[in-house]
Every structure is written in C-alpha cells, then in structure tokens.
Amino acid sequence: MANHEISCGLEYIIAPDLQACLSEALHANFAFIVLPIVHPRFRRSFLPSGGTVGGFTRSDMILSPQDWNSRIVGRLSHYLDPDSASPLVRQRHEDCLNEELAYCRGLGLPAVMLNLHSRNVNNLARNLHTYMDSSQHPTLIWTCVPMLCQRTLRAQESADNDNIEAWNEPWYWWTTFHERMGWDKRIGVVVEIPADLPPQEVLKRWLGEPIKAIIVPTTLFHNNKKGYPVLSRAHQQVVVSMVEHDAQVIVSGARRSNIEYYLQYLYRLWKKRPYVADDPMLSYAKGWEDYLQIPLQPLADNLDTHTYNVFEKDPIKYDQYQKAIAQALNDLQKKRKEESINNESNTEIINTSAKEIIQGDNTSKENERAITVMVLGAGRGPLVRATLNAADITNSKVKVVAVEKNPCAVVVLTAQAKEVWRDRDVSVISGDMRQINISPKADIIVSELLGSWGDNELSPECLDGAAGLLKNGGISIPREYKSYVVPISSARLWAAARVANPTNAQQMEKNLETLWVVYMQNKHDIGEIKEVFAFEHPEKGVKNHEGQELLDYRGLPLTDNRRSTTLRWEVQQDNVMHGFGGYFDCLLYGKEIISIVPSTHSPGMISWFPVFIPIKTPLRVLKGDTITATFWRCMNPRKVWYEWIVEVGNQATPLHNRNGRSSEMLL
C-alpha cells in the first residue's frame, strides 16, 4: 500500500439515524462506516426453540443495497460470548450471534466485525464455520481485539512491571481463533491502538498478522496550538507502519473536534511519511505485495519476451555485472603483463638479432590477443552490452561469444550482432551451454542463471556442465553464491499458498510443499537470517578415498551439487511459525556483489523477489524454544528438488516434498 491513498472509516457506537450517519461520513470523505447491527431500543425476545418474536433491528430499506454492499461494516453486539462458562449464557449468546449473522448475510455486507474476549473460542469458531460454509456472499470476518488486555493487566499490577503478558494475551486470543478457523484468508484482525504503546517486538509481531484495520480512538488525539487534532509522534509511527501493511484506519469515540479534521490530519500524516519514492524496488513491487508466483525454470522452459523485458529494466544488476567484468579484464591484462615480464627475464639471451626480434614479436602478440568472454545464457544481450562497455572502460580488446538455447532470443542476438555490434567482435552460438564445444576456450565466462533462492534455477548444474568452455585458471562471473533462510510468521502467505491452485485437497497439500516467489510484506521474522547452501565456480571436483580428484567422461572435474544442512534458532518471543523466507547473495568478482538479503540488499535492484517456503502445519513456538530445520538439495539424472523438515520441541512437521513429488527443477 506504499503508493495507495489511506482508507479511513468512521465508527458509530450508536446510530440513531442511519441515513444521517452515512451522509455525514461520506460528506467528510470517509470511505465507510462501522455501526452496530442491532439497535438498542429493539427488544430481543426469544422463544424456547431459539426463534425470535418480531423484529430485532431496523429495516434494511433505510439504506440502498449499494450502501449496504460497499459502505457499511456491520458490528455484532460486543458482549456476545458463545463460549461463556455459563450454559445458559452460552446458548443465549449463540442464538443471538446466529441471528445477527443471518441478518448480515441478508444485507450482503462486505465485512462483519466481532469481538474476542478470551482464548476460549471453539464454539465461536464452530458457528462461524457454519455461517461461512452456507453464505453465498463473500463476506469478510474482521476480528476485533485490544492491543492490551486490561483484565490481565489488573491481575499483574503487583507482579512484573513490563506487563508483557498483558500485551501478549490479545495476540493469543487472535491466533487461537485464527487457528480454529484454519488460517482462512477471509479472516482478518482489527487492532485497537491504546494510549500506552507496547514494546517494539510486540508491534512487529502484529505487523506479521493479516491486519484489516486499526481502531484509533479519538482520545488519542490532542489539539495543537491551532486547535486541530493531532497524534503523538509515537502513535504517528504506529499508524503509518500499520497502513503500509494494508491496514485501514477506523476513527472511533466521542467527537472532540470536527470529524473532517481527523480525516484531514490522517491524510496529511500519510503524505508526509518518510517515503523512499526513489527506490525502484518499491515502485516495481507496487501491486505485487504478498502475491505468490511459481519460480521460473529457464533451463526447462524458454522465457518469453515480456519476461526478458522486465529483467532488462533492472538499473543495478547489469551495472554490477559491468563493474565485475571490468575488474576481471583489468586483472587479466595485469596477469598477461606479469607473465610476459617473467618470460622475458627467464628467456636465455640470444645474440642473434633476428631471434631477438622474433621473441619480442611473440610477446607483443600475446599481449595484444583479444580476451575471450563467453556469455552463457545471453538472453537478448544485456550481459553482452555490459561486456562491451567494460571493454571500452578498460581499453581491452575482447572477443564476445554469446551462447543461448532459446530460439527467439537467438534471433534477437543475431540481429544485434549484425546491426548494433557489427563493428565489434561478437559471435552468437545457438545451443545448450552444457552440450556445446567451442574453441578457443574462454578467459572469462559470464552468466545470470540465479534464482530467488540462489541455486533454484539450476545455475550449479549449468555452469558445471559448461566448465569445459573455460580455460584453466579462467574467471567465472559469478564466482560464488549462497542461499539463506529465516523462520517467519505470516498467516496471509500461508493461506495464499494453500489455496493458490485449489483444484482439490491433494493439490492444496502440494502447494504447501512448493517454493513461492513473493514480495513479502505481511510477515514477521522469528529469528535471524542464516546461511543454507553455498556454491562456487569453477567448482572443484569430488575426491576419492585416496584424495584424487575424479573426472567425468569429458575429462572435467566430477562435481556433486547435493547439499544438506541443519539450522537452529532460539525463539525470543511467543509466535506462530508458518514457514521460511528465502534469500541469496552473490559474489560476482572481486568486491562486486548482488544481494537480496534484507541487511545487504543491493539498493534499487528489482530482478528478484524472495521466496516463501511454507510448512504444512503452522507451529506454535514459545519463548525459549529451539526451532530445528533441516534442508536437503537432492537430485537425480532428470531433476533437482528440495526437501525440508522442522522440529520444535516435541512437535515435528512431516518431511516436505519427498522425492520431489510436489515441486522440482527439470534438468
């Protein structure tokens, strides 16, 4: 929501005249209103069978169907507690709940708001499941909780000063209810902002929940010197951070100023926020927040023109590649000069003048020989352009060989070689880099085969297969790359992954064994980011029991790209784990790197979103628990796949993606 306008609603605790309330809010430019479904002047008389006698609220004809369907959020009676310890109260409240829900269904409201009172929500969840299964209208359920539990706070007044349990209790209400509802993506939470704000770790945890709205009581505002309502700086930061995570703002409470002033202030607050407008990633990711995509398989599938066009717009990646290539060209030139000097010093001095001239000519020719740069997986030529630019910058003479298997991209490369690069030494080879044999071999090979989790687009297999194209002692760009993970809490991403392809229950299970590319916004990191797998190029071959390097049938080092690792995190705060966030970084050459790891992210780079690695069943983790995760990178002659398992205390997930049954990368 970084570039969206803030969406604000106005809550009426009591609405004597619905038309007047709606007109007032719309005139003040509020987007919607929140009002109670039941009017307090209507009696609710129940028969022993549970049926009602007469009406229990106002007629729906007071407003138009369009108003009910788009501008009204119905709030159920706040006192309803169908999980009360009293059987009489429990049954009475359950009947009232179903009565109000049935009326909401008839009105076709876009959202229904209800209150939670404790962790005991089994009966509430049961009734809501019945309502949602029988409702034809896609109504959202907004679950309202306070950020601070006053009941727990009063019980702890004489105990601890930090009151952390009072801050945690409402979160437990919500996550327990959400768990009972199966983490349904139609269920969201509405948080009421208190006067005293919680610790930062509590706020960050709430940002990982699917917050639909925040309630800002008018008591939080104070009048400035000009008499207009404003929030404290701390509350401003909370409101902005919540809205950035797609939360709407609901102004609630007694009127202490003109209602238009509250909205105008919130608009100004949103517009003057510290917004990085020049960050290309924010602009590029607009509209793609928390939207899941299947990772590309450029080795098995040929990319289309649109995909190439998107990747070529990256303002940073190719600049970094150009710097790395320039540094590699400089290093090769220095190496040649040093070798020529050493050769001259070690050459026996021959008095014959003709032989001296020949020796000098050979040295000169070696220094003037063009440096061969092979671009593997050249696409439509961005790395070819980066190589030619680097050659101009370093005054190097280069011979560029562009290797590409995609027939459509080969057409583009060939046209550019004839028209754009006709004065340069550029040749195009059509074929799979793993299967071609070109002479002379390359001094430098350059590729951009990395995926969002580093090796998940089979860069190791491609570059190892093309190792025969590189001279001994040649340079590979990239030189090294690593993948990383961090356990995260994100009910929104987990629910979206489960129903991404909802054809049947088996497919939904497969969705939770699949890596998803996604610009993650609505998530909370449970631990720190840790390294998973690492690859380097040129790769060294495996060795036998005698320490001898093994070779394949082509005489190249025999590599093994299978990997496994076990990682552990100590939980610092009670949470619910839904999976992992995956990232990578890459050392191109020298000091030039590209990274999507949050702490080292290459500013402005847009080519890769992170990956979300779900687990089948969300795990509730407590402070002090240890999360143990094991990842495997497996392969056979046909495909490569990942497997993973998570353990927390006595809890353990099943082994995910066994034998690559749900997701794989085809060789």
> Do 387 and 393 touch, CB atoms closer than 8 A?
no
Measured in Å, how far apart are the chain's first and last C-alpha atoms? 39
Give the Cα separation of 528 and 176 in Å (integer).
25
Give the Cα separation of 182 and 171 in Å (integer).
16
H helices of 181-287, in order, are 200-207, 233-244, 259-271, 280-285
CA 56 to chain centre: 46
From start to end of 368-413, where are the E strands? 371-376, 398-404
Q: Residue 66 in 3-state DSSP?
A: helix
> What are the residues facing 5 on neighbouring strands?
none
Q: Residue 423 in 3-state DSSP?
A: coil
> Do 648 and 586 touch, CB atoms closer than 8 A?
no
Q: Is 523 annotated as a binding residue?
A: no
Q: How many CA atoms are closer than 13 Å to the CA of 423, on its beta-carbon side?
A: 1
Q: Is 275 annotated as a binding residue?
A: no
The H or E element that residue 172 is part of is helix 164-180
- The residue from 169, 244, 457, 461 that is catalytic is 457
- Tokens 């089994």 sit on residue: 122
Helices 122-134 and 164-180 cross at an angle (nearest 10°) of 40
Give the Cα separation of 201 and 264 in Å (integer).
30
Report how many helices (DSSP H) and strands (DSSP E) the chain contains, helices first. 18, 27
Give the Cα separation of 524 and 513 in Å (integer).
21
Q: Is 642 annotated as a binding residue?
A: no
Q: Can you give 305-323 as a three-state secondary structure string?
A: HHHHHHHHCCCCHHHHHHH
Q: Is 433 annotated as a binding residue?
A: yes
Q: Is 184 annotated as a binding residue?
A: no
> What are the residues facing 442 on neighbouring strands?
470
Give the Cα separation of 117 and 264 in Å (integer).
33
DSSP percent split of the chain into helix, strand, coil, nearest 5: 35, 25, 40
> Do 33 and 70 touch, CB atoms closer than 8 A?
no
Give the Cα separation of 212 and 20 in Å (integer).
26
Closest CA to 250 of 449, 25, 443: 25
- The residue from 192, 448, 592, 643 that is catalytic is 448
Name the token pair of 657: 């993606």
Name the token pair of 423: 């004065």
Name the token pair of 446: 């350059």
- DSSP for 452-503, please give it: TTBSTT-HHHHHHHTGGGEEEEEEEES-EEEEEEEEEE-HHHHHHHHTSS-S
> Do 605 and 314 touch, CB atoms closer than 8 A?
yes
Give the Cα separation of 94 and 78 in Å (integer).
13
Torsion angles phi and psi, residue 546, rounded to 5: -95, 0
Residue 448 bears catalytic tag: yes
Residue 531 bears catalytic tag: no
Torsion angles phi and psi, residue 210, rounded to 5: -75, 75
Please, which residues have CB within 8 angstroms of residue 436's CB and are 6 or more apart in sequence? 403, 429, 469
> Do 434 and 277 touch, CB atoms closer than 8 A?
no
Q: Is 317 annotated as a binding residue?
A: yes
Catalytic residues, by residue number, are 448, 457
Residue stretches of the annotated binding site: 308, 317-318, 404, 432-433
Residue stretches of the annotated binding site for S-adenosyl-L-methionine: 308, 317-318, 404, 432-433
